[in-house]
Amino acid sequence: HRLNGFANFLENHPEYHKKVSLAMIVVPSRDAVDRYADLKTRIDQYIGKINGMYSTLGWTPVYYFYQSFP
């Protein structure tokens, strides 16, 4: 939902390109469960799509962290 909202924001407000980014933090959980692995794959692909459409040499729209933080 957050990714959809951010993608729609970027599409509808090009004046904010290179001015805003989304930091997406996902803590690994239940990676052995197929449903969670599928969800992670879909998230990875969607972030790749957003960054592929809007990234420039000096700007990345979505920063994706798939790791635990202390």
Tens-digit pLDDT profile for residues 12-69:
999 999 999 999 998 887 777 788 889 899 999 999 999 999 999 999 999 999 988 7
pLDDT score for 37: 87
Q: If you count them, how many residues does the chain have?
A: 70
Where does residue 47 rank: exposed (0-12), middle (13-18), buried (19+ CB within 10 A)?
buried
Q: Domain count of the chain? A: 1
Which residue range is the domain that position 47 belongs to? 2-12+21-66
The confidence score (pLDDT) of residue 64 equals 97
Confidence (pLDDT) at 23? 97
**Terminal C-alpha separation, the chain:** 25
Q: Give 40's contacts (C-beta < 8 A, 6+ positions apart).
A: 26, 31, 66
